[in-house]
Chains A and B, each alone.
Chain A
Amino acid sequence: MNAPLRHPPEIHSVTDDQRYIGVSVPRPGARRLVEGRGSYVDDLRLPRMAHVVYWRSPVAHCRIVSIDRAVARQMPGVIAVVDGHEIAAICKPWVATLGHLAGMKSAPQHPLAIERACWQGEPVVAVVADTRVQAEDALTKLDVTWEALTAVTEMETALDAATPVIHPELGDNLCFTRSLDTGAVDAAFETADVVEEATFHFGRHTGVTLEPRCQIADWNAGDRRLTVYHSQQAPHMMQDLYARQFDLPESSVRVVCRDVGGSFGVKVHAYPDDFATVALAILLKRPIKFVADRLESFTSDIHAREHRVTGRIAATKDGDILAFEIDDVTAIGPYSMFPRTSAIEGNQVVNLVGGPYRHTQYRAKLNVVFQNKTPTCQYRGVGHPIACAVTEGLVDLAASTLGMDPLEFRRRNVIRDDAYPCAGASGVRFEVLSHEACLAKIETLMDYGSLRAEQAALRARGIHRGIGFATLIELTNPGAAFYGIGGARIAAQDGATCRLEPTGALTVLVSVGEQGQGNEGIFGQIAADAVGVSIERVRVATGDTDVTPYGGGTWASRGAGIGGEAVLQAGLALVANIKRVAAVILQRDVETLRVVRDAVVDVDGAELLTLAELGRVAYFRPDTLPPGFTPELMVTRHYAQKDYPFIFTNGVQASWVEVDVDTGFVKLLGHWAVEDCGRVINPMLVDEQIRGAIVQGIGGALYEECLYDRDGQLLNGSMADYLVPMSGEMPDIHVAHVETPTASSKLGAKGAGEAGTAGAPGAVMNAINDALRPLGAAVYSQPITPEKILRALGRVP
């Protein structure tokens, strides 16, 4: 089922000439991409540009004894071989902690490791040459002597006394711990009629953006200006970091993001090799290009989601949930990742477990522990997939014990649609959600009754199908609560500039960028409607700190809600100014004027003045305008969401699977999602975000895991051995919406980018376990592989 062309008109218009908001307009930016005329970092060449490759630690933990660069330096085309000391001379180290995560600790980290490398893949030496090939050839001649050190690789024993401490000055391997207790949890479990418990494992995995991480750092020594062409989600954040780490004035740094070949959070972090590449440009006074190759990406891109969560649920015999309890341990790298920190994911798990459901008692314990493995940080969905799978797995267990239908059990227990605003047991504040409406809608969308009947009929013939649900909440449109509060200079506000051109066209500059999700498309739709301009005459520009307003960029599903609101406000302010100019030109009362379809019209819709004519007069004939009046046809507005720490969205997903109990193979027969992300600006783009996010979640549920041996060696760091979802195994995904706008903005849009990933693992796991339940088997360890299913069934020891 594909997105409808237009969304319900019950959501009121926010502009005078609303033609595009709510419509599935194809993205103008897609045309150049289907023609192979995109502009990705590796497509760009600059004069005298050189290439860098990094010597990275081949082992999880080692002391760097010596670096002999003599032979490498002499290889053809080699310009420089640079070590950590030389980089450290111009780039400060960093410590990735946030003030509001009390007690969090991490050790200082340099762009290139100096005395010690702490994970397999940590960059240690830079080899710069005229061509990539020459740099790689020289890399093979670099002679690094290192001494292996004991690697800390087991999450469960990271805090044991016998385990070496990776950073002795920190005292132990604990990065962050948190406890939450509502105070009457034990009583709730004691009085409960039903208590169920399960231990959930989530395999470490990674983003695998098809375009690897890459940048060109260009230092103009004459201008003393740094320009970085970066495949990145947050250009202003990187501008700030480069300025501060290199002691440059902020205005000396420009970050440009053009086409980005997939990001998903992998490209919102500041990597050691990012800083090293910039340092090389400054040291060598020429542009330096870094493109991570695929093998390098597997050990250097952030990893995520390695958790063991023990969870319990308490319920009454009537089927009311009383309490949740979790104990979560999660393994990160040897350093918290800069600047957003590696504790956020675990922190979100604590905040989100149990979220959709009515209950007052909750206890959570979180330990975030250091390991000698690739550093971890925010990756699409962040803690949501974990929290949702744990919650939904426990919910299914309780429902099963009670003999209640899992959909019915959820319907009974979700927070009522008329209960808002309210808070969850973990303290999260909900503005307005629609769990009941979404559950009702998914039942119809998937024809639940028929699927249950089909399941029963096929079971009788030895075919095991299962249905799994996952109700979810997702945090979007963050306020400054996320990072600003903790001291990080990551903007929680964004800005948009709307400029009417002399010919009546509209230029829109926005501080939130484009990585394929369609931000530029929706900004164009909003601006066109706000100003009254036809969409073909709107041009959107993003991703350049020299050009756009200052803002936060893409993360935590904020593009539509925050960037979109800034565009709406700027557009509405511009059209007010346009009407003022028109009033003066036409000698009419401004209240009688509107802008519709590229022209100023009167109350009856009669055209009075085209925008092109208005532009001509305003820009080229100010002599015809009254003294004391100046047209202001370029307007900037900023927006920050301040009503709540986050604007939560909600949804529910369902997965329909068939488990081959002889082979353990799972066939995904169908997937449904009902999502409430407030006002939908472009139904097609939102649905496609949901689909892509769901498949990404399925990856973690069934296929993806970074497999390490006991020595901290990554065993499957190639596209052949690390399994990402491909089209052959993926289901068709049916999407529908409930639209409950947020009152925190005029636009009313909430975020939608991560909900798919949040709910898919829980839904698929529950579907598999629903299929296996009559056979007395269950699997709570993701990725759910054939072997795990066969073991659970007792078919294999």
Chain B
Amino acid sequence: MSVAVRPIRVTVNGVAEERAVLPRTHLVDFLREDLGLTGSHLGCEHGVCGACTVRVDGEVVRGCLMLAVQADGCAVETVEGLTDGGTMRDLQDAFVERNALQCGFCTPGMLMAAAELLEQRPDSTRAEVREWISGNYCRCTGYHAIVDAICTVLDARREGRAKTASPSVVEHDDALHAESREPARQADLDALGG
């Protein structure tokens, strides 16, 4: 059958893109072929291996199980964008330091998954890290080094939050935070310049 291309407007790594795509094109093929963003990889195209993991509207998804047309109006972030934005620099550094990658093919997807854990489950235990990344296949590392690298960053960020949530900061914002006993969120600390 002959199907027409559809116009889509999608923000990719902060850049508004207007393209025309066939409905059957999945998001990762769109990113790789139409936009030349080859950092996201394909390992199975049945949603199991995780190599295609990208971020859509702030959540990780399997890029092979989402159509490009479904991303119309969405904000998509790939490993390239997160690299240039610097938001996972500590995670990437930890991966390199700890050799939490070998061939690198699973790595962008793994980083995406790990970045969401760092954000959403910042108090994860080692076992919880293992469970969280259990949807990302790696054949090279055996996972131990990856778990180490993620735990290192969890610890460092936790320490960083503890340091910045120091008495002087709380006093300064007494009026705002009087009722709050939660540790400061990273986003708040960033906003405070901490």
Tell whether A pairs with B: yes
State whether B46 touches A210 (Cβ < 8 A).
no
State whether B108 touches A36 (Cβ < 8 A).
yes
State whether A692 touches B79 (Cβ < 8 A).
no
A-contact 0/1 string along B88-131, CB 8 Å cutoff: 00001001111101111111100100000000000000000011
CB distance from A294 to the nearest CB of B (A): 4
State whether A36 touches B80 (Cβ < 8 A).
yes
Determine whether B48 belongs to the interface, using a CB cutoff of 8 Å to chain A.
yes
CB distance from B8 to the nearest CB of A (A): 17
Segment among B65-73, B136-144, B155-163, B174-182 that sits at the interface with chain A:
B136-144
If the complex has contacts A35-B92, A210-B51, A211-B103, are A733 and B142 also in contact, measured as CB distance less than 8 A?
yes
State whether A34 touches B49 (Cβ < 8 A).
no
CB distance from B59 to the nearest CB of A (A): 19
Cα distance A693–B140 in the bound complex, in angstroms: 8
If the complex has contacts A34-B104, A36-B40, A727-B133, are A210 and B139 also in contact, measured as CB distance less than 8 A?
yes
Cα distance A26–B148 in the bound complex, in angstroms: 15
CB distance from A514 to the nearest CB of B (A): 9
Most buried by A among B101, B103, B107: B103
Determine whether A141 belongs to the interface, using a CB cutoff of 8 Å to chain B.
no
Nearest CB in chain A to that of B126: its residue: A732
Determine whether A164 belongs to the interface, using a CB cutoff of 8 Å to chain B.
no
Cα distance A639–B27 in the bound complex, in angstroms: 48
Determine whether B134 belongs to the interface, using a CB cutoff of 8 Å to chain A.
yes
Determine whether A474 belongs to the interface, using a CB cutoff of 8 Å to chain B.
no
Contact residue among B96, B97, B102, B136 (Cβ-Cβ distance under 8 Å from A517): B102
State whether B137 touches A210 (Cβ < 8 A).
yes
Given the complex, which residues of A lie within 8 Å of B38, measured CB to CB? 36, 40, 42-43
Task: Please report which residues of chain B, range 1-49, place their CB below 8 angstroms from some CB of chain A when the two chains form the complex.
Answer: 22, 24, 32, 37-46, 48-49
Determine whether B74 belongs to the interface, using a CB cutoff of 8 Å to chain A.
no
Cα distance A38–B103 in the bound complex, in angstroms: 10
If the complex has contacts A38-B104, A294-B43, are A695 and B143 also in contact, measured as CB distance less than 8 A?
yes
Determine whether B146 belongs to the interface, using a CB cutoff of 8 Å to chain A.
yes
Given the complex, which residues of B lie within 8 Å of A42, measured CB to CB? 32, 38, 42
Determine whether A518 belongs to the interface, using a CB cutoff of 8 Å to chain B.
yes
Cα distance A38–B22 in the bound complex, in angstroms: 27
State whether B41 touches A261 (Cβ < 8 A).
yes
Given the complex, which residues of B lie within 8 Å of A517, measured CB to CB? 102
Determine whether A259 belongs to the interface, using a CB cutoff of 8 Å to chain B.
yes
CB distance from B194 to the nearest CB of A (A): 26
CB distance from A577 to the nearest CB of B (A): 34
State whether B80 touches A696 (Cβ < 8 A).
no
Determine whether A13 belongs to the interface, using a CB cutoff of 8 Å to chain B.
no
Determine whether A27 belongs to the interface, using a CB cutoff of 8 Å to chain B.
yes
CB distance from A216 to the nearest CB of B (A): 14
Given the complex, which residues of A lie within 8 Å of B95, measured CB to CB? 30, 34
Contact residue among B96, B135, B136, B148 (Cβ-Cβ distance under 8 Å from A2): B148
CB distance from B62 to the nearest CB of A (A): 12
Given the complex, which residues of A lie within 8 Å of B83, measured CB to CB? 34-37
Cα distance A34–B102 in the bound complex, in angstroms: 10
State whether B103 touches A691 (Cβ < 8 A).
no
Cα distance A259–B108 in the bound complex, in angstroms: 14
CB distance from B102 to the nearest CB of A (A): 3
Most buried by A among B104, B106, B137, B146: B104
Task: Please report which residues of chain A, range 32-54, place their CB below 8 angstroms from some CB of chain B when the two chains form the complex.
Answer: 33-38, 40, 42-43
Cα distance A728–B129 in the bound complex, in angstroms: 9
Cα distance A31–B83 in the bound complex, in angstroms: 11
Cα distance A260–B46 in the bound complex, in angstroms: 22
Nearest CB in chain A to that of B149: its residue: A34
Nearest CB in chain B to that of A735: its residue: B144
State whether B101 touches A30 (Cβ < 8 A).
yes
State whether A692 touches B137 (Cβ < 8 A).
no
If the complex has contacts A728-B131, A728-B134, are A684 and B99 also in contact, measured as CB distance less than 8 A?
yes
Cα distance A472–B77 in the bound complex, in angstroms: 46
Contact-residue size bin, chain B (C-beta under 8 Å from the other chain): 35 or more
Cα distance A209–B146 in the bound complex, in angstroms: 18
Most buried by A among B38, B105, B106, B134: B105
Segment among A333-341, A399-407, A494-502, A718-726 that sits at the interface with chain B:
A718-726
Cα distance A35–B98 in the bound complex, in angstroms: 16
CB distance from B44 to the nearest CB of A (A): 4
Cα distance A693–B39 in the bound complex, in angstroms: 26
State whether A37 touches B134 (Cβ < 8 A).
no
B-contact 0/1 string along A511-543, CB 8 Å cutoff: 000011110000000000000000000000000
State whether A718 touches B143 (Cβ < 8 A).
no
Determine whether B184 belongs to the interface, using a CB cutoff of 8 Å to chain A.
no
A-contact 0/1 string along B73-89, CB 8 Å cutoff: 00000111001000000
State whether B137 touches A726 (Cβ < 8 A).
yes
Cα distance A696–B103 in the bound complex, in angstroms: 15
Determine whether B147 belongs to the interface, using a CB cutoff of 8 Å to chain A.
yes
Determine whether B165 belongs to the interface, using a CB cutoff of 8 Å to chain A.
no
Determine whether B56 belongs to the interface, using a CB cutoff of 8 Å to chain A.
no
CB distance from B48 to the nearest CB of A (A): 4
State whether A692 touches B102 (Cβ < 8 A).
yes
If the complex has contacts A36-B40, A720-B46, A728-B134, are A685 and B103 also in contact, measured as CB distance less than 8 A?
no
Task: Please report which residues of chain A, range 671-721, place their CB below 8 angstroms from some CB of chain B when the two chains form the complex.
Answer: 684-685, 688, 691-696, 718-720
Given the complex, which residues of A lie within 8 Å of B142, measured CB to CB? 688, 691-696, 725, 730, 733, 756
State whether B92 touches A692 (Cβ < 8 A).
no
Given the complex, which residues of A lie within 8 Å of B22, measured CB to CB? 133
If the complex has contacts A26-B99, A34-B101, A688-B102, are A727 and B41 also in contact, measured as CB distance less than 8 A?
no
Contact residue among A30, A35, A516, A688 (Cβ-Cβ distance under 8 Å from B79): A35
State whether B141 touches A261 (Cβ < 8 A).
no
Determine whether A293 belongs to the interface, using a CB cutoff of 8 Å to chain B.
yes
Contact residue among A208, A259, A293 (Cβ-Cβ distance under 8 Å from B104): A259
Given the complex, which residues of A lie within 8 Å of B48, measured CB to CB? 718-720
CB distance from B88 to the nearest CB of A (A): 9
Cα distance A210–B103 in the bound complex, in angstroms: 9
Cα distance A688–B102 in the bound complex, in angstroms: 9
Contact residue among B102, B107, B134 (Cβ-Cβ distance under 8 Å from A518): B102
If the complex has contacts A40-B41, A719-B44, are A34 and B97 also in contact, measured as CB distance less than 8 A?
no
Nearest CB in chain B to that of A209: its residue: B139
Nearest CB in chain A to that of B102: its residue: A516
State whether A293 touches B45 (Cβ < 8 A).
yes
Cα distance A259–B105 in the bound complex, in angstroms: 9
Nearest CB in chain A to that of B147: its residue: A727
Nearest CB in chain B to that of A260: its residue: B103
If the complex has contacts A294-B46, A688-B99, A727-B133, are A33 and B107 also in contact, measured as CB distance less than 8 A?
yes
Given the complex, which residues of A lie within 8 Å of B140, measured CB to CB? 262, 516, 692
- Beyond the given pairs A726-B137, A732-B144, 8 more chain A to chain B contacts, judged by CB atoms under 8 angstroms and listed by A's residue number, are A30-B95, A30-B101, A36-B78, A43-B38, A693-B142, A694-B142, A726-B143, A732-B147
Q: Hey, which bits of chain B sit against chain A, CB under 8 A?
A: 22, 24, 32, 37-46, 48-49, 51, 78-80, 83, 92, 95-99, 101-108, 111, 130-131, 133-148
Can you list 23 A-B contacts with CB-CB less than 8 angstroms, sorted by A residue number? A30-B104, A33-B103, A34-B107, A34-B111, A36-B78, A37-B39, A38-B39, A40-B41, A133-B22, A210-B41, A211-B41, A259-B103, A261-B104, A262-B103, A294-B43, A516-B140, A517-B102, A691-B145, A695-B143, A718-B48, A727-B130, A727-B133, A727-B138
Those 3 A-B pairs whose CB atoms lie nearest each other, nearest first:
A36-B39, A33-B104, A516-B103
